[in-house]
Structure 1
Amino acid sequence: MSALESMLPRVLILTPVKGAARHLPRYTELIEQLDWPADRLSVALLEGDSQDDSFAVAEALLPRLRQRARRAELFQRSFGFNMPAGVPRWAPAFQQMRRAVLARARNHLLFRALDDEDWVLWIDVDVIDYPPDVLRQLLATGFEIVVPNCVQRRGGKTFDANNWAAEGTVTLSDRRGGGAMRLDAVGGTMLLIRADLHRDGLIFPAFRYGVANPRIRRRHPIWGQGEIETEGLGAMAADMGVQCWGLPDLEIIHANE
Protein backbone atom coordinates (compact mmCIF):
# COMPACT_ATOMS: atom_id res chain seq x y z
CA MET A 1 0.00 0.00 0.00
CA SER A 2 1.34 3.41 -0.98
CA ALA A 3 1.77 6.26 1.50
CA LEU A 4 -1.18 8.02 -0.11
CA GLU A 5 -3.43 4.96 0.21
CA SER A 6 -2.45 4.58 3.87
CA MET A 7 -4.05 7.98 4.51
CA LEU A 8 -7.42 6.94 3.09
CA PRO A 9 -10.24 6.41 5.60
CA ARG A 10 -11.11 2.93 6.82
CA VAL A 11 -14.48 1.78 5.46
CA LEU A 12 -16.74 -0.98 6.75
CA ILE A 13 -19.25 -2.49 4.32
CA LEU A 14 -22.31 -3.89 6.11
CA THR A 15 -24.97 -6.07 4.50
CA PRO A 16 -28.00 -7.82 5.99
CA VAL A 17 -28.80 -11.06 4.13
CA LYS A 18 -32.11 -12.90 3.96
CA GLY A 19 -33.13 -15.35 1.27
CA ALA A 20 -30.47 -13.97 -1.06
CA ALA A 21 -28.32 -16.94 -2.02
CA ARG A 22 -28.71 -16.14 -5.72
CA HIS A 23 -27.38 -12.59 -5.24
CA LEU A 24 -24.34 -13.33 -3.10
CA PRO A 25 -21.91 -14.27 -5.91
CA ARG A 26 -22.56 -10.99 -7.74
CA TYR A 27 -22.40 -9.09 -4.45
CA THR A 28 -18.93 -10.55 -3.90
CA GLU A 29 -17.79 -9.75 -7.45
CA LEU A 30 -18.75 -6.10 -7.01
CA ILE A 31 -16.79 -5.79 -3.78
CA GLU A 32 -13.81 -7.41 -5.48
CA GLN A 33 -14.05 -4.73 -8.20
CA LEU A 34 -14.42 -1.85 -5.74
CA ASP A 35 -11.75 0.81 -6.16
CA TRP A 36 -10.53 0.92 -2.58
CA PRO A 37 -7.41 -0.55 -0.95
CA ALA A 38 -7.92 -3.90 0.76
CA ASP A 39 -6.07 -2.67 3.85
CA ARG A 40 -8.62 0.12 4.28
CA LEU A 41 -11.70 -2.06 3.76
CA SER A 42 -13.72 -4.39 6.02
CA VAL A 43 -16.85 -6.39 5.22
CA ALA A 44 -19.48 -7.94 7.49
CA LEU A 45 -22.72 -9.74 6.71
CA LEU A 46 -25.59 -10.82 8.93
CA GLU A 47 -27.77 -13.69 7.73
CA GLY A 48 -31.09 -14.41 9.33
CA ASP A 49 -34.46 -16.05 8.69
CA SER A 50 -33.47 -17.29 5.23
CA GLN A 51 -35.46 -20.09 3.69
CA ASP A 52 -32.70 -20.92 1.24
CA ASP A 53 -28.98 -21.70 1.69
CA SER A 54 -27.89 -18.07 2.05
CA PHE A 55 -25.70 -18.77 5.07
CA ALA A 56 -23.86 -21.63 3.40
CA VAL A 57 -23.32 -19.62 0.21
CA ALA A 58 -22.05 -16.60 2.18
CA GLU A 59 -19.75 -18.84 4.20
CA ALA A 60 -18.32 -20.32 1.00
CA LEU A 61 -17.64 -16.83 -0.35
CA LEU A 62 -15.90 -15.57 2.80
CA PRO A 63 -12.40 -16.59 1.62
CA ARG A 64 -12.80 -14.36 -1.44
CA LEU A 65 -13.98 -11.46 0.70
CA ARG A 66 -11.06 -12.00 3.07
CA GLN A 67 -8.68 -11.77 0.13
CA ARG A 68 -10.28 -8.46 -0.79
CA ALA A 69 -10.47 -6.88 2.68
CA ARG A 70 -8.41 -6.68 5.84
CA ARG A 71 -11.35 -8.25 7.69
CA ALA A 72 -14.46 -10.10 6.55
CA GLU A 73 -17.00 -11.57 8.97
CA LEU A 74 -20.27 -13.47 8.75
CA PHE A 75 -22.79 -13.45 11.58
CA GLN A 76 -26.14 -15.15 11.99
CA ARG A 77 -29.17 -13.95 13.90
CA SER A 78 -32.73 -15.00 13.20
CA PHE A 79 -35.73 -12.94 14.28
CA GLY A 80 -38.50 -15.42 13.55
CA PHE A 81 -40.16 -13.43 10.80
CA ASN A 82 -40.96 -14.38 7.22
CA MET A 83 -43.57 -13.02 4.86
CA PRO A 84 -46.46 -15.42 4.24
CA ALA A 85 -46.12 -17.48 1.08
CA GLY A 86 -47.24 -15.61 -2.00
CA VAL A 87 -47.36 -12.22 -0.28
CA PRO A 88 -45.00 -9.56 -1.71
CA ARG A 89 -42.63 -7.94 0.75
CA TRP A 90 -44.21 -4.52 0.16
CA ALA A 91 -47.69 -5.68 1.23
CA PRO A 92 -48.98 -2.85 3.50
CA ALA A 93 -50.29 -5.12 6.26
CA PHE A 94 -46.78 -6.41 7.00
CA GLN A 95 -44.68 -3.31 6.44
CA GLN A 96 -44.27 -2.15 10.01
CA MET A 97 -43.29 -5.63 11.23
CA ARG A 98 -40.99 -6.28 8.26
CA ARG A 99 -39.22 -2.95 8.56
CA ALA A 100 -38.89 -3.32 12.34
CA VAL A 101 -37.16 -6.68 11.90
CA LEU A 102 -34.86 -5.23 9.24
CA ALA A 103 -34.00 -2.34 11.56
CA ARG A 104 -33.12 -4.80 14.32
CA ALA A 105 -30.98 -6.79 11.89
CA ARG A 106 -29.10 -3.68 10.79
CA ASN A 107 -28.48 -2.58 14.37
CA HIS A 108 -27.38 -6.04 15.43
CA LEU A 109 -24.91 -6.19 12.55
CA LEU A 110 -23.65 -2.68 13.25
CA PHE A 111 -23.00 -3.38 16.93
CA ARG A 112 -21.28 -6.68 16.17
CA ALA A 113 -19.07 -5.49 13.34
CA LEU A 114 -18.06 -1.84 13.83
CA ASP A 115 -14.50 -1.59 15.09
CA ASP A 116 -12.03 1.18 14.17
CA GLU A 117 -13.56 2.19 10.85
CA ASP A 118 -14.13 5.81 9.86
CA TRP A 119 -17.11 5.19 7.58
CA VAL A 120 -19.88 2.63 7.23
CA LEU A 121 -21.14 1.77 3.76
CA TRP A 122 -24.44 -0.09 3.85
CA ILE A 123 -25.04 -2.13 0.67
CA ASP A 124 -28.08 -4.31 0.09
CA VAL A 125 -27.25 -7.77 -1.17
CA ASP A 126 -29.57 -7.42 -4.19
CA VAL A 127 -27.77 -4.41 -5.63
CA ILE A 128 -26.37 -5.93 -8.83
CA ASP A 129 -24.23 -3.16 -10.29
CA TYR A 130 -22.45 0.03 -9.32
CA PRO A 131 -19.35 1.84 -10.60
CA PRO A 132 -16.06 0.66 -9.08
CA ASP A 133 -15.40 4.20 -7.86
CA VAL A 134 -18.80 4.65 -6.21
CA LEU A 135 -17.24 4.84 -2.74
CA ARG A 136 -14.77 7.49 -3.88
CA GLN A 137 -17.60 9.50 -5.40
CA LEU A 138 -19.68 9.33 -2.24
CA LEU A 139 -16.77 10.27 0.00
CA ALA A 140 -15.73 13.11 -2.29
CA THR A 141 -18.96 14.95 -1.44
CA GLY A 142 -17.81 15.54 2.12
CA PHE A 143 -21.32 14.78 3.39
CA GLU A 144 -21.70 12.78 6.59
CA ILE A 145 -24.72 10.86 5.25
CA VAL A 146 -25.12 10.38 1.51
CA VAL A 147 -26.81 7.97 -0.90
CA PRO A 148 -26.62 7.33 -4.65
CA ASN A 149 -29.70 6.93 -6.84
CA CYS A 150 -30.80 3.29 -6.86
CA VAL A 151 -32.67 2.36 -10.05
CA GLN A 152 -33.57 -0.84 -11.86
CA ARG A 153 -32.49 0.47 -15.25
CA ARG A 154 -30.14 3.30 -16.13
CA GLY A 155 -31.95 6.59 -16.35
CA GLY A 156 -35.09 5.03 -14.90
CA LYS A 157 -37.26 5.94 -11.97
CA THR A 158 -35.75 5.78 -8.50
CA PHE A 159 -36.25 2.28 -7.10
CA ASP A 160 -35.29 3.05 -3.50
CA ALA A 161 -38.24 5.33 -2.76
CA ASN A 162 -37.15 5.59 0.89
CA ASN A 163 -34.77 8.33 -0.29
CA TRP A 164 -37.15 11.27 -0.24
CA ALA A 165 -37.86 14.88 0.66
CA ALA A 166 -41.02 16.93 1.18
CA GLU A 167 -42.92 14.21 3.06
CA GLY A 168 -42.18 11.60 0.44
CA THR A 169 -43.36 13.59 -2.56
CA VAL A 170 -39.90 14.21 -4.09
CA THR A 171 -37.39 11.46 -4.86
CA LEU A 172 -33.95 11.44 -6.46
CA SER A 173 -35.24 10.80 -9.97
CA ASP A 174 -37.15 14.08 -9.75
CA ARG A 175 -33.93 16.06 -9.36
CA ARG A 176 -31.60 14.67 -12.02
CA GLY A 177 -29.12 17.19 -13.35
CA GLY A 178 -29.43 19.47 -10.36
CA GLY A 179 -26.50 18.31 -8.25
CA ALA A 180 -26.72 17.00 -4.69
CA MET A 181 -30.19 16.94 -3.15
CA ARG A 182 -31.15 17.48 0.48
CA LEU A 183 -33.09 14.48 1.80
CA ASP A 184 -35.39 14.13 4.79
CA ALA A 185 -35.20 10.32 4.70
CA VAL A 186 -32.82 7.73 3.29
CA GLY A 187 -33.01 4.22 1.99
CA GLY A 188 -30.54 1.43 2.62
CA THR A 189 -29.80 0.01 -0.82
CA MET A 190 -26.53 1.94 -0.58
CA LEU A 191 -25.99 4.36 2.27
CA LEU A 192 -22.72 5.94 3.42
CA ILE A 193 -22.59 7.17 7.03
CA ARG A 194 -19.73 8.61 9.01
CA ALA A 195 -19.03 5.91 11.60
CA ASP A 196 -18.87 8.35 14.49
CA LEU A 197 -22.53 9.19 13.92
CA HIS A 198 -23.38 5.57 14.67
CA ARG A 199 -21.11 5.73 17.71
CA ASP A 200 -22.96 8.87 18.80
CA GLY A 201 -26.23 6.92 18.81
CA LEU A 202 -27.55 7.11 15.24
CA ILE A 203 -29.36 3.81 14.69
CA PHE A 204 -32.18 2.33 12.63
CA PRO A 205 -35.31 2.69 14.80
CA ALA A 206 -37.31 -0.53 15.08
CA PHE A 207 -40.30 1.58 16.15
CA ARG A 208 -42.07 4.69 14.89
CA TYR A 209 -39.58 7.47 15.50
CA GLY A 210 -39.82 11.23 15.20
CA VAL A 211 -43.41 12.04 16.04
CA ALA A 212 -42.25 15.50 17.11
CA ASN A 213 -40.01 15.98 14.05
CA PRO A 214 -41.49 18.49 11.58
CA ARG A 215 -40.05 16.60 8.60
CA ILE A 216 -41.95 13.36 9.04
CA ARG A 217 -45.08 12.40 7.15
CA ARG A 218 -48.03 13.14 9.40
CA ARG A 219 -50.53 10.76 7.87
CA HIS A 220 -48.64 7.74 6.59
CA PRO A 221 -51.20 5.15 5.41
CA ILE A 222 -49.44 2.25 7.13
CA TRP A 223 -48.00 3.43 10.44
CA GLY A 224 -49.42 6.91 10.88
CA GLN A 225 -47.00 9.28 12.53
CA GLY A 226 -43.29 8.62 12.78
CA GLU A 227 -40.76 6.88 10.55
CA ILE A 228 -39.11 3.47 10.89
CA GLU A 229 -35.82 1.77 9.89
CA THR A 230 -33.78 3.77 7.32
CA GLU A 231 -36.38 6.54 7.11
CA GLY A 232 -36.37 6.69 10.90
CA LEU A 233 -32.59 7.04 10.75
CA GLY A 234 -33.08 10.07 8.52
CA ALA A 235 -35.39 11.67 11.06
CA MET A 236 -32.98 10.83 13.88
CA ALA A 237 -30.09 12.35 11.93
CA ALA A 238 -32.08 15.57 11.57
CA ASP A 239 -32.67 15.57 15.33
CA MET A 240 -28.89 15.24 15.74
CA GLY A 241 -28.34 18.24 13.48
CA VAL A 242 -27.05 16.21 10.52
CA GLN A 243 -28.33 16.70 6.97
CA CYS A 244 -28.84 13.68 4.70
CA TRP A 245 -27.96 14.06 1.02
CA GLY A 246 -28.60 12.20 -2.23
CA LEU A 247 -26.82 12.16 -5.57
CA PRO A 248 -29.49 11.91 -8.29
CA ASP A 249 -26.98 11.34 -11.10
CA LEU A 250 -24.87 8.66 -9.42
CA GLU A 251 -26.77 5.50 -10.29
CA ILE A 252 -26.57 2.00 -8.85
CA ILE A 253 -28.66 -0.88 -10.17
CA HIS A 254 -31.04 -3.04 -8.15
CA ALA A 255 -32.15 -6.50 -9.19
CA ASN A 256 -35.60 -6.87 -10.72
CA GLU A 257 -37.96 -8.35 -8.17
Structure 2
Amino acid sequence: MTQDEIENAGWMEMSKYPPETQLNFTPPVPRYSVSDVVYRLKDGIMERNLALDRRKYENHSIVILTPIHNSERHLVQFGELISGLDYPKSKISVVFGEDSSKDETLTMADHVLKALKKEGFRRTEVHHFNITGQVGDGWENKHRRISQYRRRRHLANARNLLMKAGLKDEEYALWIDVDIGYLPSDLIQQMIFTNKDVVTPCCLYRKQNQIRIYDKNTWRETKISLSEQEKLPKNAVIVEGYGPTTRIFLPHLQGEGRAVPLDGVGGCSLLVRAECHRKGLDFPETPYRRHIETEGLAKKATDLGFTVYGLPFLHVFHR
Protein backbone atom coordinates (compact mmCIF):
# COMPACT_ATOMS: atom_id res chain seq x y z
CA MET A 1 0.00 0.00 0.00
CA THR A 2 1.27 3.48 -0.80
CA GLN A 3 1.29 6.53 1.45
CA ASP A 4 -1.25 8.14 -0.90
CA GLU A 5 -3.63 5.20 -0.39
CA ILE A 6 -3.27 5.51 3.37
CA GLU A 7 -3.90 9.24 3.33
CA ASN A 8 -6.87 8.96 0.96
CA ALA A 9 -8.47 6.46 3.32
CA GLY A 10 -7.75 8.57 6.40
CA TRP A 11 -5.83 5.69 7.98
CA MET A 12 -2.90 5.52 10.41
CA GLU A 13 0.50 6.91 9.46
CA MET A 14 2.12 3.50 9.20
CA SER A 15 5.57 4.99 8.79
CA LYS A 16 5.08 6.57 12.21
CA TYR A 17 3.22 3.65 13.78
CA PRO A 18 4.54 0.31 12.48
CA PRO A 19 2.30 -2.76 12.94
CA GLU A 20 4.16 -3.93 16.06
CA THR A 21 3.43 -0.68 17.92
CA GLN A 22 1.25 -0.62 21.05
CA LEU A 23 -0.85 2.51 20.87
CA ASN A 24 -1.96 4.71 23.77
CA PHE A 25 -4.93 6.00 21.74
CA THR A 26 -7.75 4.48 19.71
CA PRO A 27 -7.06 4.62 15.96
CA PRO A 28 -9.36 6.78 13.82
CA VAL A 29 -12.00 5.08 11.69
CA PRO A 30 -10.83 5.15 8.06
CA ARG A 31 -13.11 5.89 5.13
CA TYR A 32 -12.31 2.34 4.02
CA SER A 33 -9.77 -0.28 5.08
CA VAL A 34 -6.43 -0.25 3.31
CA SER A 35 -4.63 -2.76 5.53
CA ASP A 36 -5.29 -5.93 7.52
CA VAL A 37 -3.15 -4.69 10.41
CA VAL A 38 -4.75 -4.52 13.87
CA TYR A 39 -2.83 -2.36 16.31
CA ARG A 40 -2.32 -3.43 19.90
CA LEU A 41 -3.78 -0.92 22.34
CA LYS A 42 -2.64 -0.13 25.86
CA ASP A 43 -4.26 -2.31 28.51
CA GLY A 44 -6.25 0.58 29.97
CA ILE A 45 -8.01 1.24 26.64
CA MET A 46 -8.93 -2.41 26.22
CA GLU A 47 -10.13 -2.72 29.81
CA ARG A 48 -12.43 0.30 29.50
CA ASN A 49 -14.03 -1.11 26.36
CA LEU A 50 -14.43 -4.62 27.77
CA ALA A 51 -15.46 -3.81 31.36
CA LEU A 52 -18.38 -6.04 32.30
CA ASP A 53 -20.12 -7.54 35.29
CA ARG A 54 -20.33 -10.88 33.53
CA ARG A 55 -22.60 -12.45 36.16
CA LYS A 56 -25.47 -10.24 34.93
CA TYR A 57 -25.44 -11.94 31.53
CA GLU A 58 -25.45 -15.63 32.45
CA ASN A 59 -29.16 -16.43 32.55
CA HIS A 60 -29.59 -17.48 28.93
CA SER A 61 -29.45 -20.92 27.35
CA ILE A 62 -26.92 -21.30 24.54
CA VAL A 63 -26.30 -23.93 21.89
CA ILE A 64 -22.84 -23.95 20.34
CA LEU A 65 -23.17 -25.10 16.72
CA THR A 66 -19.98 -26.21 14.99
CA PRO A 67 -19.67 -27.73 11.50
CA ILE A 68 -16.84 -30.29 11.28
CA HIS A 69 -15.16 -31.96 8.32
CA ASN A 70 -11.86 -33.85 8.52
CA SER A 71 -11.42 -32.08 11.86
CA GLU A 72 -9.88 -34.88 13.91
CA ARG A 73 -6.75 -32.87 14.69
CA HIS A 74 -8.70 -29.82 15.96
CA LEU A 75 -11.36 -31.36 18.16
CA VAL A 76 -9.43 -31.92 21.39
CA GLN A 77 -8.28 -28.30 21.57
CA PHE A 78 -11.76 -27.15 20.58
CA GLY A 79 -13.21 -29.06 23.51
CA GLU A 80 -10.66 -27.49 25.83
CA LEU A 81 -11.54 -23.98 24.60
CA ILE A 82 -15.27 -24.59 25.09
CA SER A 83 -14.62 -26.02 28.54
CA GLY A 84 -12.64 -22.88 29.38
CA LEU A 85 -15.56 -20.52 28.76
CA ASP A 86 -16.59 -18.88 32.04
CA TYR A 87 -20.31 -19.41 31.56
CA PRO A 88 -22.57 -21.85 33.46
CA LYS A 89 -22.02 -25.20 31.75
CA SER A 90 -25.56 -26.30 32.60
CA LYS A 91 -26.83 -23.60 30.21
CA ILE A 92 -24.59 -24.57 27.27
CA SER A 93 -25.31 -27.30 24.72
CA VAL A 94 -22.68 -28.34 22.16
CA VAL A 95 -23.74 -29.80 18.81
CA PHE A 96 -21.47 -30.82 15.94
CA GLY A 97 -22.57 -31.22 12.33
CA GLU A 98 -20.18 -33.67 10.65
CA ASP A 99 -19.91 -33.58 6.88
CA SER A 100 -18.45 -36.54 4.93
CA SER A 101 -15.12 -36.76 6.77
CA LYS A 102 -12.47 -39.23 5.63
CA ASP A 103 -10.54 -39.33 8.92
CA GLU A 104 -11.59 -40.20 12.48
CA THR A 105 -13.57 -36.99 12.98
CA LEU A 106 -16.77 -38.76 14.08
CA THR A 107 -14.95 -40.92 16.62
CA MET A 108 -13.04 -37.95 18.06
CA ALA A 109 -16.18 -35.80 18.13
CA ASP A 110 -17.97 -38.45 20.16
CA HIS A 111 -15.02 -38.63 22.58
CA VAL A 112 -14.93 -34.83 23.05
CA LEU A 113 -18.70 -34.57 23.54
CA LYS A 114 -18.73 -37.33 26.16
CA ALA A 115 -16.01 -35.46 28.07
CA LEU A 116 -18.00 -32.21 27.92
CA LYS A 117 -21.15 -34.01 29.08
CA LYS A 118 -19.29 -35.29 32.13
CA GLU A 119 -18.29 -31.71 32.93
CA GLY A 120 -21.95 -30.72 33.16
CA PHE A 121 -22.78 -29.34 29.72
CA ARG A 122 -26.53 -29.37 29.11
CA ARG A 123 -26.77 -31.35 25.85
CA THR A 124 -24.10 -32.77 23.55
CA GLU A 125 -24.81 -34.23 20.11
CA VAL A 126 -23.17 -34.97 16.79
CA HIS A 127 -25.15 -35.19 13.55
CA HIS A 128 -23.83 -36.71 10.32
CA PHE A 129 -24.67 -35.04 7.01
CA ASN A 130 -23.68 -36.74 3.78
CA ILE A 131 -23.35 -33.65 1.57
CA THR A 132 -21.67 -33.82 -1.82
CA GLY A 133 -19.62 -31.07 -3.43
CA GLN A 134 -17.06 -30.49 -0.69
CA VAL A 135 -14.07 -28.40 -1.86
CA GLY A 136 -10.82 -30.32 -1.37
CA ASP A 137 -8.86 -30.04 1.86
CA GLY A 138 -5.80 -27.87 2.26
CA TRP A 139 -5.64 -24.13 2.77
CA GLU A 140 -4.81 -23.34 -0.85
CA ASN A 141 -7.63 -25.46 -2.25
CA LYS A 142 -10.23 -24.02 0.10
CA HIS A 143 -9.21 -20.40 -0.27
CA ARG A 144 -8.68 -20.05 -4.00
CA ARG A 145 -10.93 -17.29 -5.26
CA ILE A 146 -12.33 -19.48 -8.00
CA SER A 147 -13.50 -21.98 -5.36
CA GLN A 148 -15.38 -19.53 -3.17
CA TYR A 149 -18.89 -19.78 -4.60
CA ARG A 150 -18.86 -23.57 -4.45
CA ARG A 151 -17.18 -23.61 -1.03
CA ARG A 152 -19.44 -21.02 0.55
CA ARG A 153 -22.58 -22.62 -0.89
CA HIS A 154 -21.50 -25.92 0.64
CA LEU A 155 -20.82 -24.26 4.01
CA ALA A 156 -24.22 -22.57 3.94
CA ASN A 157 -25.88 -25.92 3.27
CA ALA A 158 -23.98 -27.54 6.16
CA ARG A 159 -24.85 -24.69 8.53
CA ASN A 160 -28.53 -24.80 7.63
CA LEU A 161 -28.72 -28.56 8.18
CA LEU A 162 -26.95 -28.16 11.53
CA MET A 163 -29.25 -25.31 12.54
CA LYS A 164 -32.34 -27.43 11.86
CA ALA A 165 -30.96 -30.49 13.63
CA GLY A 166 -29.14 -28.85 16.52
CA LEU A 167 -31.23 -25.86 17.61
CA LYS A 168 -33.90 -26.89 20.12
CA ASP A 169 -35.29 -24.63 22.85
CA GLU A 170 -32.19 -22.47 23.39
CA GLU A 171 -32.29 -18.67 23.43
CA TYR A 172 -29.08 -18.17 21.45
CA ALA A 173 -27.12 -20.05 18.80
CA LEU A 174 -23.37 -19.53 18.98
CA TRP A 175 -21.55 -20.56 15.80
CA ILE A 176 -17.85 -21.32 16.41
CA ASP A 177 -15.36 -22.70 13.88
CA VAL A 178 -13.71 -25.92 14.99
CA ASP A 179 -10.22 -24.66 14.08
CA ILE A 180 -10.41 -21.63 16.37
CA GLY A 181 -7.20 -21.02 18.33
CA TYR A 182 -8.25 -18.77 21.21
CA LEU A 183 -11.51 -17.66 22.84
CA PRO A 184 -11.75 -15.13 25.69
CA SER A 185 -13.34 -16.72 28.74
CA ASP A 186 -16.17 -14.14 28.81
CA LEU A 187 -16.95 -14.40 25.09
CA ILE A 188 -20.61 -15.32 25.60
CA GLN A 189 -21.31 -12.62 28.19
CA GLN A 190 -19.65 -9.94 26.07
CA MET A 191 -21.85 -10.76 23.09
CA ILE A 192 -25.09 -11.11 25.07
CA PHE A 193 -24.34 -7.76 26.73
CA THR A 194 -24.92 -5.97 23.42
CA ASN A 195 -28.57 -7.08 23.37
CA LYS A 196 -28.44 -7.35 19.56
CA ASP A 197 -29.77 -10.06 17.28
CA VAL A 198 -26.56 -10.94 15.42
CA VAL A 199 -23.21 -10.25 17.08
CA THR A 200 -19.62 -11.05 16.21
CA PRO A 201 -16.17 -10.31 17.69
CA CYS A 202 -13.02 -9.67 15.65
CA CYS A 203 -11.46 -12.86 14.28
CA LEU A 204 -7.72 -12.32 14.04
CA TYR A 205 -4.46 -14.23 13.61
CA ARG A 206 -0.87 -13.69 14.65
CA LYS A 207 1.81 -13.26 12.04
CA GLN A 208 5.19 -13.23 13.77
CA ASN A 209 4.88 -10.27 16.18
CA GLN A 210 1.97 -8.66 14.36
CA ILE A 211 -1.81 -9.05 14.65
CA ARG A 212 -3.76 -9.29 11.40
CA ILE A 213 -7.39 -9.68 10.35
CA TYR A 214 -8.30 -13.29 9.61
CA ASP A 215 -12.03 -13.00 8.98
CA LYS A 216 -12.52 -10.41 6.24
CA ASN A 217 -16.19 -11.33 5.94
CA THR A 218 -16.94 -8.98 8.85
CA TRP A 219 -17.32 -5.44 7.52
CA ARG A 220 -19.39 -2.33 7.02
CA GLU A 221 -20.41 -1.02 3.64
CA THR A 222 -19.36 2.44 2.47
CA LYS A 223 -20.87 4.70 -0.19
CA ILE A 224 -18.07 3.59 -2.52
CA SER A 225 -18.64 -0.14 -1.93
CA LEU A 226 -22.39 0.16 -2.42
CA SER A 227 -21.90 2.15 -5.61
CA GLU A 228 -19.51 -0.48 -6.95
CA GLN A 229 -21.99 -3.27 -6.23
CA GLU A 230 -24.69 -1.63 -8.30
CA LYS A 231 -22.51 -2.19 -11.36
CA LEU A 232 -22.45 -5.97 -10.83
CA PRO A 233 -24.97 -8.54 -12.06
CA LYS A 234 -27.69 -9.45 -9.56
CA ASN A 235 -26.41 -13.03 -9.34
CA ALA A 236 -22.78 -12.02 -8.67
CA VAL A 237 -21.16 -13.17 -5.43
CA ILE A 238 -18.82 -10.70 -3.73
CA VAL A 239 -15.98 -12.11 -1.64
CA GLU A 240 -13.40 -10.15 0.33
CA GLY A 241 -9.73 -10.86 0.92
CA TYR A 242 -8.58 -11.13 -2.67
CA GLY A 243 -7.46 -7.57 -3.26
CA PRO A 244 -8.14 -4.00 -2.12
CA THR A 245 -11.49 -3.30 -0.46
CA THR A 246 -13.69 -0.23 -0.26
CA ARG A 247 -15.37 -1.45 2.93
CA ILE A 248 -14.34 -1.02 6.57
CA PHE A 249 -13.32 -4.16 8.43
CA LEU A 250 -14.61 -4.57 11.99
CA PRO A 251 -11.26 -4.07 13.83
CA HIS A 252 -10.90 -0.67 12.16
CA LEU A 253 -14.15 0.56 13.72
CA GLN A 254 -12.75 0.85 17.25
CA GLY A 255 -13.01 4.62 17.11
CA GLU A 256 -16.82 4.33 17.21
CA GLY A 257 -16.91 2.50 20.52
CA ARG A 258 -17.64 -0.84 22.08
CA ALA A 259 -20.41 -2.14 19.78
CA VAL A 260 -20.83 -1.01 16.18
CA PRO A 261 -23.37 -1.74 13.41
CA LEU A 262 -22.21 -3.98 10.56
CA ASP A 263 -23.38 -5.08 7.14
CA GLY A 264 -21.43 -8.35 6.82
CA VAL A 265 -20.36 -11.04 9.28
CA GLY A 266 -18.16 -14.12 9.26
CA GLY A 267 -18.71 -17.44 10.99
CA CYS A 268 -15.53 -17.74 13.03
CA SER A 269 -17.52 -16.84 16.17
CA LEU A 270 -21.07 -15.62 15.62
CA LEU A 271 -23.94 -15.24 18.10
CA VAL A 272 -27.49 -15.27 16.71
CA ARG A 273 -30.63 -14.83 18.78
CA ALA A 274 -32.35 -18.17 18.24
CA GLU A 275 -35.71 -16.55 17.59
CA CYS A 276 -34.19 -14.96 14.49
CA HIS A 277 -33.28 -18.39 13.11
CA ARG A 278 -36.79 -19.60 13.92
CA LYS A 279 -38.25 -16.67 12.00
CA GLY A 280 -36.38 -17.56 8.83
CA LEU A 281 -32.87 -16.16 9.25
CA ASP A 282 -30.70 -18.79 7.62
CA PHE A 283 -27.47 -18.90 5.61
CA PRO A 284 -28.26 -18.20 1.93
CA GLU A 285 -27.05 -21.00 -0.31
CA THR A 286 -27.49 -18.91 -3.45
CA PRO A 287 -26.69 -15.22 -3.99
CA TYR A 288 -28.70 -12.94 -1.71
CA ARG A 289 -28.09 -9.29 -2.56
CA ARG A 290 -24.82 -10.49 -4.15
CA HIS A 291 -23.68 -12.32 -1.01
CA ILE A 292 -23.77 -15.88 0.27
CA GLU A 293 -23.47 -17.87 3.52
CA THR A 294 -22.57 -15.71 6.57
CA GLU A 295 -22.41 -12.43 4.66
CA GLY A 296 -25.71 -13.32 3.03
CA LEU A 297 -27.12 -13.99 6.51
CA ALA A 298 -26.14 -10.47 7.59
CA LYS A 299 -27.83 -8.92 4.55
CA LYS A 300 -30.93 -11.03 5.12
CA ALA A 301 -30.96 -10.15 8.85
CA THR A 302 -31.09 -6.45 8.01
CA ASP A 303 -33.92 -6.99 5.54
CA LEU A 304 -35.87 -8.91 8.20
CA GLY A 305 -35.46 -6.03 10.65
CA PHE A 306 -32.85 -7.70 12.88
CA THR A 307 -29.83 -5.87 14.29
CA VAL A 308 -26.31 -6.83 13.17
CA TYR A 309 -23.42 -5.65 15.34
CA GLY A 310 -19.72 -6.23 15.91
CA LEU A 311 -17.42 -5.86 18.91
CA PRO A 312 -14.16 -4.30 17.68
CA PHE A 313 -12.38 -4.64 21.05
CA LEU A 314 -13.33 -8.30 21.60
CA HIS A 315 -10.78 -10.57 19.96
CA VAL A 316 -10.78 -14.26 19.10
CA PHE A 317 -7.84 -15.83 17.28
CA HIS A 318 -7.85 -18.32 14.47
CA ARG A 319 -5.15 -20.93 14.09
* Residues 1:150 and 2:203 aligned together: yes
* Residues 1:80 and 2:159 aligned together: no
Distance 1:228 1:46 in 2: 20
TM-score by length of 1: 0.87
Q: Where has structure 1 moved over 4 Å in runs of 4 or more?
A: 4-7, 84-87
Is contact 2:57–2:189 with CA below 8 Å preserved after alignment? no
Over aligned residues, Cα RMSD in angstroms? 2.0
Distance 2:68 2:183 in 1: 19
TM-score by length of 2: 0.70
Name the amino acid aligned to 2:75. Answer: L
Superposition pairs of residues 166-205 of structure 1, within 5 angstroms: 166=221, 167=225, 169-179=247-257, 180-205=259-284
Superposition pairs of residues 235-254 of structure 1, within 5 angstroms: 235-254=299-318
Name the amino acid aligned to 2:288. Answer: Y
5+ residue gaps in structure 1?
211-225
Q: Secondary structure at the match of 1:192?
A: strand
Distance 1:237 1:187 in 2: 13
Distance 2:315 2:130 in 1: 32
Superposition pairs of residues 58-77 of structure 1, within 5 angstroms: 58-68=109-119, 69-77=121-129
Distance 2:130 2:147 in 1: 18
What corresponds to 2:232 in structure 1?
none
* Residues 1:37 and 2:88 aligned together: yes
Deviations 1:78-112 (A, max 9, x none): 21233347642111221111111100100100100
Measure how far apart 1:157 and its partner are: 2.4
What corresponds to 1:11 in structure 2?
62
- Report sequence identity in percent: 37
* Residues 1:141 and 2:194 aligned together: yes
The number of residues matched between the two structures is: 237
Measure how far apart 1:39 and its partner are: 1.7
Distance 2:64 2:148 in 1: 26
Is contact 1:177–1:248 with CA below 8 Å preserved after alignment? no
Distance 1:165 1:19 in 2: 32
Measure how far apart 1:5 and its partner are: 8.9
Distance 1:192 1:84 in 2: 28
Q: Secondary structure at the match of 1:201?
A: coil
Rg: which structure is higher?
2
Distance 2:193 2:57 in 1: 17
